[in-house]
Homo-oligomer: A and B are copies of this chain.
Amino acid sequence: MFKKVLIANRSEIAVRIIRACKEMGISTVAVYSDVDRDALHVRYADEAYHIGPPPARESYLRIDKIIDVAKKAGADAIHPGYGFLAENAEFAEACEKAGIVFIGPPKKAIVEMGSKTVARQTAMKAGVPVIPGTLEPLSDEEIFAKAKEIGFPIMLKAVAGGGGKGMRLIKSEDELESAIRLARSEAKGAFGDDSLYIEKYIENPRHVEMQILVDTFGNGIWLGERECSIQRRHQKVIEEAPSVILDEELRRKMGEAALKVAFAAGYYSAGTVEFLVDKDRNFYFLEVNTRLQVEHPVTEMVTGIDIVKEMISIAAGSKLSYTQDDVKMMGASIEFRVYAEDPFNNFVPSPGTITGLRMPGGPGVRVDAGVFEGSVVPMEYDPIIAKLIVWGRDRKEAVERGKRALKEFVVKGIKTTIPFHKLVLDHPAFLTGEFDTTFVDSVIEEFKKTKKKAGFDIALAMAAIAEEEKTPSVSRVCPDKGGLNPWKFFGRRLLMRSCWF
């Protein structure tokens, strides 16, 4: 096993990995930029090294500096976390060259799975279903032929496209000719390239991802699925396991398909294989995320398997310590991402100082936080400051526990997504699992309409009482400033706001 691991990341995921290392008896090395000297991961690690100015490209993305620190500290491995260098093949290569183990998949798998085309071909070769269609540009004739082959409805897409431009849903052959003409012209105008390809149209698709663990001895297991249907700005905010639309049979099929892709790609480490599932519960391979995912804890909660520890063990050359038979999914888990964002103002970033912090506790509650009371959340990085993960015997209990825990969770000084999560859990559509991509907006809209909030009278009264408490008229209560005990003094200050002026 490794003696010392460098964590090339920050915030909650760095803390998460440090905790895993501590429980494995491995020393930890943190790195930090100028604005992160006071970050929690620096405090938790056994060693910490400065690596540059705030912008990520000058610090957390500096491969050379990170490798230098690893060498200087004598780290025998590096865990990249997620984001930053996690899916950077160049970094994996630099580690290899420096004789340091990269805790993740082999370089080749990162490169190949990073390419949509290669990943798709790999899946097809492995016999795993992909969305019927092409990824390559097609001529008009080829489009006609292919469309008939895969069957309507189809999607016509611009090769250079993005953001829905040049994209068209075609329900039958007679719409096709004029659609091709219009789409080519639109694509030409938008991207200067009129190449088109087609894909089968999947109705009411659900994104479902499958967690896998594969070791270097050719052993692999799947750990069940996660569903991440609630997103804002195409970024996940709530994830859960299991998915409401899977049963044992489909889960096993998708798990086996995920492993087939991994083996075909020569993959090892932890990984996530993404699928689309249509309304008839056909599934199609989409892509492989060659890293630890933000939402890995929901899988840990339902399986009891510590994914980070297994990932480290695999990198150290150990065999998987579980077989597929050992993997039992129990209950349900939901993760709530706590972002430093204002959910009621279009989720704009809300960096700043956390002036107050109370975290939930009790049964079935896990908090992976990267901050403490007094932390400054810098504006330079991802807005995630913590994750609340709850477990319940079933989805209903997890939801009720989530409500309870979110009520206990208080972050002051900055805006967070906590109030948003509460609205989601109170929303009937979330409870039934029937929500789509417009869900976030509709939750916020509905909230804005229902003005009446409980506790308004108490809020008014307490604001007035706070104002009264600080008025100089009562300042006579603080004559004793000579005390030497800092806590006593501190406590007195807190209790007598009147002395603040």
Contacts and interface: CB of A to CB of B under 8 A. Distances in A.
Contact of A363 (B25, B297, B400): B297
Contacts of A368: 361-363
A317 interface: no
A304 B331 contact: yes
Interface stretch (A174-182, A234-242, A281-289, A486-494): A486-494
Contacts of A306: 363-364, 393, 397
Interface string A346-372: 000000010110110111111111001
| Residue from A358, A490, A497 whose CB has the most chain B CB atoms within 10 Å | A490
9 contacts: A19-B404, A22-B403, A305-B393, A306-B364, A306-B397, A362-B366, A486-B500, A490-B493, A493-B493
A363 B366 contact: yes
A182 to B, nearest CB: 52
Contacts of A22: 400, 403-404, 407
A14 to B, nearest CB: 12
A330 B365 CA distance: 18
Interface in A63-78: none
A140 interface: no
Given A364-B366, A484-B501, 16 more contacts: A16-B362, A19-B362, A22-B407, A304-B331, A304-B391, A306-B364, A328-B330, A353-B487, A353-B491, A359-B361, A362-B367, A362-B368, A413-B487, A486-B497, A486-B500, A490-B493
Interface in A356-415: 356, 358-359, 361-369, 372, 374, 391, 393, 397, 400-401, 403-404, 407, 413
Nearest to A300: B363
Contact of A500 (B359, B369, B489): B489
B361 A393 contact: no
A23 interface: yes
A251 interface: no
Interface in A461-495: 470, 482, 484, 486-487, 489-491, 493-494
A407 B21 CA distance: 14
Copies in the complex: 2
A19 B489 contact: no
Interface in A11-58: 15-16, 19-20, 22-25
Given A304-B393, A486-B470, A491 B374 contact: yes
Interface in A204-236: none
Nearest to A486: B500
Contacts of A304: 330-331, 391, 393
Contacts of A400: 22-25
A22 B401 CA distance: 8
A361 B366 contact: yes
Contact of A361 (B367, B404, B413): B367
A346 to B, nearest CB: 26
Contact of A365 (B356, B366, B397): B366
Contacts of A484: 501
Contacts of A297: 363
Contacts of A363: 16, 19-20, 297, 300, 306, 366, 368
Contacts of A482: 501
A482 B500 CA distance: 8
5 tightest A-B contacts by CB?
A: A355-B487, A23-B400, A361-B367, A19-B362, A22-B404
Nearest to A400: B23
A393 B327 CA distance: 12
A115 to B, nearest CB: 33
Nearest to A309: B397
A195 to B, nearest CB: 47
Contacts of A490: 355, 493-494
A484 B362 CA distance: 37
A493 B490 CA distance: 9
A305 B391 CA distance: 11
Interface in A302-324: 304-306
Nearest to A322: B393
A300 B484 CA distance: 46
A267 B304 CA distance: 34
Contacts of A374: 491, 494
